[in-house]
Amino acid sequence: MQAWTTPKPLATPIAFDGVSRVDLEFVDVHRDAGSFTAFVFLNAGELPADAGRDHDRFAGSFTLFTRSECWGGEGHCDWKREPVSRFDRRPQHHLTPINVSMDVTETIRRLGNPNRLEVTVHATRASEPGATKGVLRFERLAVMSYS
């Protein structure tokens, strides 16, 4: 299981008690390292590795069905490829990272509308539950609130 926690708490200009919805947005989640499930906890502090859905700081989970190993030759799974010309109308590479959005409004309310969020993610690769690195990779995590 890979554990990750925000290096510093996230905060928004408007207090959470003044908004109607709060989403966590995982930006550019990679899909090239095997299917996995991620548990998301808010303001949980130190968490045991086996913290589950019944933990009072559990905010939700998501599972991504992806491919495991690259079976092709060099460059086969290079999702960063650019169009080869302006006539290249082919769709994006199928491993292009995606955004994953999670509605955490209920958890925010349950936690008393805290002003700052520390997010902890536990991610487990389906085919290799013991893996501690490279299971979940993404570029940014954003908290988005809507009034």
Partner 1 sequence: MTLQVTAQARPAQAALKVRQNISQMSAAEVNRLRKALEGMLAREDNRGYQFFAGWHGVPLEICQHHNKYFLPWHRGYLYHFELALQEVDPEVTVPWWNWMDEPWIPKAFDLKRVGKRKNVLASAPIRPLGIPRGQGWPRQTHRAPGSNPLALPPPLGGAVFPGSGGGASAWIMSAPSYEEFWKRCARVHDNVHVWVGGEMEDQNWAAFDPLFWAHHAMVDRLWRIWQHNNPGALPDHATLEQPMTFAREPSLRVRDVLDVKALGYEYAAQAAVVDGPR
Residue ranges binding partner 1 (CB under 8 A): 31, 34-39, 53, 58, 60-69, 71, 91, 94, 98, 101, 103-107, 122, 124, 126-127, 129
The residue (of 38 and 141) whose beta carbon lies closer to partner 1 is 38
**Residue 110, SS3 per DSSP:** helix
Residue 66 identity (one-letter amino acid): T
**Residue 139, SS3 per DSSP:** coil
- The CB-of-46 to partner 1 minimum distance in angstroms stands at 19
The residue (of 8 and 33) whose beta carbon lies closer to partner 1 is 33
The residue (of 8 and 71) whose beta carbon lies closer to partner 1 is 71
Closest CA to 12 of 28, 26, 23: 23
Owner of token pair 């769709």: 91
- The CB-of-23 to partner 1 minimum distance in angstroms stands at 10
CA distance 20 to 2: 32
- The CB-of-127 to partner 1 minimum distance in angstroms stands at 7
The residue (of 7 and 91) whose beta carbon lies closer to partner 1 is 91
- The CB-of-8 to partner 1 minimum distance in angstroms stands at 25
E-only strand ranges, 19-129: 21-29, 36-42, 58-64, 98-103, 116-117, 119-125
The residue (of 8 and 109) whose beta carbon lies closer to partner 1 is 109
Closest CA to 30 of 93, 102, 115: 93
- The CB-of-53 to partner 1 minimum distance in angstroms stands at 6
